[in-house]
Amino acid sequence: MAQISLTFPDDSQRHYDAGITPAEVAADISTSLGKKAISANVNGQHWDLQWPIEADSSIEINTMKDEAPALELIRHDLAHIMARAVQELWPDVKVTIGPVIENGWYYDFDRAEPFTPEDLGAIEKKMKEIISLRDPVRTEIWDRERAIRHYEDNGEPFKVELIEAIPGTEPLRMYWHGPWQDLCRGPHLQNTGQVPADAFKLMSVAGAYWRGDSDRQMLQRIYGVAFMNREKLKEYMNFLEEAEKRDHRKLGREMDLFHMQEEAPGQIFWHPNGWSIYTTLQDYMRRKQRSGGYVEVNTPQVVDRKLWEASGHWDKYQEHMFIVEVDEDHAREKSINALKPMNCPCHVQIFNQGLKSYRDLPLRMAEFGSCNRYEPSGALHGIMRVRGFTQDDAHIFCREDQIESETQKFIGFLSEIYRDLGFEKFAVKFSDRPEKRAGSDEVWDKSEAALKSATLAAGAEFELNPGEGAFYGPKLEFVLTDAIGRDWQCGTLQVDFVLPERLGATYIGEDGAKHRPVMLHRAVLGSFERFIGILIEEHAGKLPFWLAPRQVVVASIVSEADAYVAKVVEALRAAGVRAEADIRNEKINYKVREHSVGKVPVILACGLREVEESTVSLRRLGEKQTSVQALDDVITALSREATPPDQL
C-alpha cells in the first residue's frame, strides 16, 4: 500500500498508509488524544475524523479546546439532531436543509401545521433525549442514483431536488446520527453525546420559501443557538435581553421619536422629539465641519442618467438606484433620471465650475446629502437600514502629496467627534479592491498604497477587510463598539483617483499645466438615521442631556403650584434648556413614571414648599432619590449640561 507523509503543526512528520483517517492518526499519537479528538484540519480544510487521507498533507488534530471548529461541529450536529427530533415527533414532516449560521443554525421543514412555542419545547426535550443516547455518527459515500432512489423511497422530494441541482457527477456524502440519515458535506462529531445538552436553545420559527423562490412552497424555519457550555449560552441570552431593552424601534415608540409605515417602505416619519435629536446632531456637525475648514453645499435629488453613466454608477451600482422616468415636453422619448444614491458625482460638478488652482487645494466640500438607495424589503431594519437617508458626506479635493496630511487631519477630526458623542475608542478596517470595480490595477495599486501609508502615518492600526472597497477606490472603515459589545461601521474614508478622471476634474498646478485632483470621500456619522439608532441603543434611550429631545419636565404636585411651574419653564427655556410643563391633575408618582418611560433626563417637581422657597425638587432619570435645590442653581447647572460639547 502506498505511503503518505503527514506534517504536524510543529513541522514534525509521520508516515502512514494512504487512506488513514484522522481518528487513527490521533489514536496513534496518544490514547488520550484519540479520545479527545473531534475533527482535524487537513491542508487547511476542516476534516471529519472518519474521512480518509489519500496524499501527503499537513494535519492538525482538533479537540473541544479548539473553539472555532468545535462550535461549528456542535451547531451542525444540533441541526441534524433537531431534524431527527422533529421527524421522530411528527413522522410526516419533510426535511430540506439546515446550515450553520452565526451563533447557531436553522433547519427548514415542510409541515402542514405551524410549529407553536409548545412544539419548540417538545423538540428541545426530544433533542436532549437523543443527545443522552450517545448514538454514533457515521458517514458513507453514495452514487447519485442510489441517493435519489433512497429519498424517493422515503418520500423526501426536497432532498431529491437538491441532489438533482448539484452540478457534476461526483458521488455524494451521507451522514447518520443514530438511525436518522441526511445528505450532508460534513464534517460532524463522532456521537450525539459530544454535543453539550445544556448549551443550546431553540429560539423562533419563521417562514421561508423553498430555495428562496416566492413561487415555491412556504416552509417553516426553526432557528436555534448553541455555545460551548451553559455559561456561554446564559451570557448570550442575557445579551439578547439587554439588546431587546435597547431596541431603537421599541424606544422610538416609547419616546415618540418616529414611525414607519407600509406606504413609504424604508422611509422615516420623524416626530417632533425625533426631529429634535436629528437637528441638534446636524447643527453640531455643521459647526464642527465649519471649524474643520469645510464649505457646505447642496446638490439636486434627481439627476439625469448621463451623469451616472459618466461616473460609472449606472454600470456598477444601478441595481441599488431608484430610476425616474419623466415625459419632457415635446420629447420623442422619456427622459431617464435617477434619485441620487450618493453625492460624489454632484460634488465634482461644483468643483468643475471655474478654474481651480493648486493654491485652492485641499478643497473640503460638505453636504448633508439626502440619498435614496434600493434595499430589499427583507433587509430593512427600523431606522438602521432604510431606503431614504441623509449622510454627513464630504469630499476633499487634494493633490497626491496631500493625501497623507488630509488623512491624518480626518482621523483626528473623526476621533474628536466620536469622543464628544461618548465613544472613546474605535477600530479601523482597510478595505481593498472589490471584484467589481472601475479603474486600472495600476491606479488601484497607487490608491491602496497611498491610503495605507497615510493611515499608518496617522498612527491608526488597521485590520484588512479584503475585497470590500468601493468600486472606485479603497477605503477605511471606522467601527464603533457599543455598550453591549456590538460593532457598528460608521465613518469611512476613501481614496479615489477614478472619479476625477471620469468626470474631467482638473486644477492648474504650480507648473501652469492641468492636473487631476485626488478625491477623498469621507463621512463621520455615516447616515444620520442609522447613527441616531446607534445612539439610542448605545444609551438605552438615556441620551446625553444636550441631545435629549425632552430635557426637563417641570411637574406640579398641587394645582396651586401651576403658575410657579410656568415661571420655571420660562426661565429654563430662556437659559437654552428644552423644558415643558406638566400641570395635569394627576399624582406626582404617576407623572414621574410616565416621563421616565419617555426617557426624560430630569424631572423637577413643584409643590407649595418649592413655591414659597423658590426651589425645585430634582429627580434624574434612573435615580430613586430626589434633592431639593435652589431654582437659580438648577437653571445654571442644567444650562451648562444643555450646551453641546463643542460650545463648552
Annotated binding residues, written as ranges, equal 344, 395, 521
The residue annotated as part of the active site, out of 177, 373, 578, 619, is 373
Catalytic residue among 391, 402, 494, 551: 391
Full 3-state SS string of 570-628: HHHHHCCCCEEEECCCCCHHHHHHHHHHCCCCEEEEECHHHHHHCEEEEEECCCCCCEE
Active site residue 521: yes
Contact between 380 and 386 under an 8 Å Cβ cutoff? The reply is yes
Candidates 177, 246, 433, 521; catalytic one: 521
Q: Which of 80, 84, 340, 475 is catalytic?
A: 475
Cell numbers for 308 = 451616472
| Calpha distance 26→59 (Å, rounded) | 10
Residues annotated in a binding site for Zn(2+): 344, 395, 521
Catalytic residue among 80, 84, 181, 344: 344
The three grid cell numbers given for residue 212, joined into one nine-digit string: 428562496
> Catalytic residue among 48, 77, 108, 393, which?
393
Bridge partners (DSSP) of residue 303 are 338
Q: Is 490 a catalytic residue?
A: no
Peptide bond into 52 cis (omega under 30): no
* Catalytic residue list contains 344: yes
Q: How many CB atoms lie within 10 A of CB 498?
A: 22
- Quick check: is 496 catalytic? no
Of the residues 75, 395, 433, 578, only one is catalytic, namely 395
Phi-psi region for residue 103, left (φ > 0), alpha (ψ -120 to 50) or beta? left
Q: What are phi and psi of 505, to 5 degrees?
A: -80, 135
Phi–psi pair at 308, nearest 5 degrees: -70, -30
Q: How far apart are CA 69 and CA 73, in angstroms?
A: 6
Determine the 3-state secondary structure of 213 from DSSP: coil
Beta strands in 323-362, from DSSP E residues, in sequence order: 323-326, 335-339
Beta carbons within 8 Å of 334's beta carbon, 6+ residues apart = 325, 326, 327, 328
Enumerate the β-bridge partners of residue 110. 94
Q: The C-alpha cell of 406 is what?
A: 488630509
Q: Is 247 a catalytic residue?
A: no
Please give the Cα distance from 138 to 176 (Å, whole number): 5
Sheet holding 180-183, edge to edge: 137-142, 172-177, 180-183
C-alpha cell at 37: 479528538
* Catalytic positions, written as ranges: 344, 373, 391, 393, 395, 475, 521
